[in-house]
Copies of this chain bind each other. A is one copy, B any other.
């Protein structure tokens, strides 16, 4: 049986581009990686060689102009996402784009309008939705296993803070870190966030505060389904990457723990202990990166809507804006037509 394979062009051969490129090239039989482009030509060439890809370059335009290409993976720097979405949509290519789409709603809305007009598929890279733990929680809610949600907690802490230059450019903790959790909250609950309150603190490194950002935060959310919940963020947890969720429903509760390199328990004369959890997102979320691309490829090939939409990409940014405003004003902020 001969099946059509999706021809994919990769824009951006950095850390996450390498992950996606390898996944398409090795693990997804329904797709074929046909282009690798990066501003750093050597990086593009190296990845292309590793993946057995013939077409290499530095110009995204060449990919978009290539009639062989069905879809592009936008893995470039954030400031180029919205523009590349617009151009790819105009070229009739399906689009997988890393989050966030942009930091301003104007750019996002223009990009989404272009996608809508072109009738192409757009999927945003909220990979955690495809993680086995979090999708199990979603299933418990969606299937009614725990009935109506009442309370939710997301704990999301990094092993250590990023370089201070990154903090300066990233748009702040709500946009470089919590954005994943805002999406997780909406995904798990299956509805919109209606109201946000946030406390922020600088507890890890005063330099982060001096750069105008927070390194520790508690965000409280009211959902359209009547539930309430929190997100707990810290830029440093000495024991490693801490990624957990729990939800209380009217007929039960579900919680997920961290993932570990092994299941060993070691006992000695002092403690009963285990090794530290998997140490940061490339190890922790390896599987989810592969599954999200499978999902994208299948959605495009079957003509069904992607599992993570442009609207999802937009709303995570909107909730982040509301959280930022709440910290500034010390008040709960409603998410309404103002956003």
Contact = CB atoms under 8 A, between A and B. Distances in A.
B264 A275 contact: no
Contacts of A203: 148, 150, 226-227, 250
A274 B275 contact: no
Contact of A151 (B216, B220, B222, B255): B216
A276 B266 contact: no
A110 interface: no
Interface stretch (A85-93, A132-140, A298-306): A132-140
A275 B256 CA distance: 12
A80 interface: no
A161 to B, nearest CB: 12
B263 A271 contact: no
Contact of A274 (B227, B237, B271): B271
A16 interface: no
Interface in A126-151: 132-133, 136-137, 140, 145-146, 148, 150-151
A331 interface: yes
Interface in A220-243: 220, 222, 226-230, 232, 234, 236-239, 242
27 contacts: A29-B50, A132-B261, A133-B262, A133-B264, A150-B203, A153-B153, A195-B199, A199-B220, A199-B222, A201-B227, A218-B220, A234-B248, A238-B267, A239-B267, A242-B253, A251-B268, A252-B266, A253-B266, A254-B266, A256-B263, A269-B276, A271-B273, A271-B276, A272-B273, A272-B277, A330-B331, A331-B331
Interface of A: 26-27, 29, 50, 132-133, 136-137, 140, 145-146, 148, 150-151, 153, 155, 157, 195, 197, 199, 201, 203-204, 216-218, 220, 222, 226-230, 232, 234, 236-239, 242, 248, 250-259, 261-277, 330-332
